[in-house]
Amino acid sequence: MSKAMLIDTTRCIGCRSCQVACKSWNCLPGVPAVFSEGSNPRYLSSNTYTRVIFREVVRPEGGMGWYFVKRQCMHCNDPACESVCPVGALRKNEDGPVTYDDSKCIGCRYCLMACPFQIPKYQWESAVPLVRKCTFCADRLAIGLSPACAATCPTQALLFGERSDLLTDARQRIEARPDKYVRHIYGETTVGGTSMLYLTTVPFEQLGLELRGLRTDLGDVPYGMHGRQWMGKVPFIALAVGGAALGLYKFNQRRDKVQQAGKEE
């Protein structure tokens, strides 16, 4: 029942309609920018939920390769951000999206630290800052539409559908063109599976994308587990630290009392 998006990077032409559609649907402002040799904006921010990374490669055997990789929230099946959120502001929905509740957030920014893809962004410039990230257009999904980026993609590089169907489709594509695709679906098992599935011509680490939030060394262990492991210890650590502080306080008070009593005598 979980929805997903298949990002076939071999079909992407780098037009960045997805970036504009995303800003349009989510009412995000365009920010003043200067020249960038790759693509603009250079980074994801609280005003930019998605961007296309450009990679230009001169092949050693001659010819050139131009690779476009869209980046946005991966909507993990077991998200690290959800597992560390102390107030439950982040939630993995039944139908796929990892959504964020403005009214619950206390601004602790644990999600920024926990996310292995460096996705949640904080509104640093705001007086009342909130966390912002791709919502998988949960509002559109709720009324039966596909996400804004997938709806606008002119080359169908972004395919929206049931996760199981898309995995079957992705495997068929790899089987049909083994020369074109890397035999790996990024996101199928990465960090326990994500709702974003990538098909690529060259592995991400060859494009230097591990420095751009698309790490390939994350393994298949659900990252939510790590979060729960650590967050589960918080009450005990809090109690232990609190108890130690209380003990010190009492000890100091008692010492002062004894000293006072000694002086009076």
Partner 1 sequence: MLPEGKSRLFVPKGLCKEGPFPEHYEPIECHFTNAMSSQQSNPLTKIWKSDLAKVAELCDPRFPFIATTFRVTEHWQAGAMTRNLTWQTEMVPEMFVEISPSLAKAKGIAMGDWVKVVSARGEVPARALITPRVGPCICGAPCSRNAVELVGLPWHFGFAGYATGGPDRKRNYAANQLVPMVGDANTMIPEYKAFLCDVQKV
Region near partner 1 per CB under 8 A, out of 33-41, 129-137, 218-226, 236-244: 33-41
Nearest distance in Å: CB 5, partner 1: 21
In whole angstroms, give the CA distance from residue 79 to residue 107: 18
Nearest distance in Å: CB 199, partner 1: 22
Nearest distance in Å: CB 27, partner 1: 11
In whole angstroms, give the CA distance from residue 98 to residue 95: 9
Of positions 3, 4, 5, 23, contacts partner 1 by CB under 8 A: 23
Name the token pair of 37.
Answer: 């040799």
The site for partner 1, by CB under 8 A, has a size of 22
Nearest distance in Å: CB 97, partner 1: 23
Region near partner 1 per CB under 8 A, out of 15-23, 169-177, 206-214, 250-258: 15-23
Instruction: Give yes or no for residue 20 binding partner 1 (CB under 8 A).
Output: yes
Angle at 73 between CA 21 and CA 222, to 5 degrees: 160
Nearest distance in Å: CB 52, partner 1: 9
HSE-CB of 247 using CA atoms within 13 angstroms? 6
Nearest distance in Å: CB 53, partner 1: 13
List CB contacts of 191: < 8 A, sequence separation 6 or more. 74, 76, 78, 80, 116, 218, 219, 220, 221, 222, 223
C-beta atoms surrounding 261 within 10 Å: 9
229, amino acid identity? Q
Of positions 27, 34, 211, 261, contacts partner 1 by CB under 8 A: 34
List CB contacts of 42: < 8 A, sequence separation 6 or more. 36
Q: Which of residues 63-122 bind partner 1 (CB under 8 A)?
A: 64
Q: Which of residues 129-158 bind partner 1 (CB under 8 A)?
A: none
Name the token pair of 193.
Answer: 């599976």
Q: Residues interacting with partner 1, by CB under 8 A?
A: 13-16, 19-20, 23-24, 29-35, 37, 39-41, 56, 58, 64
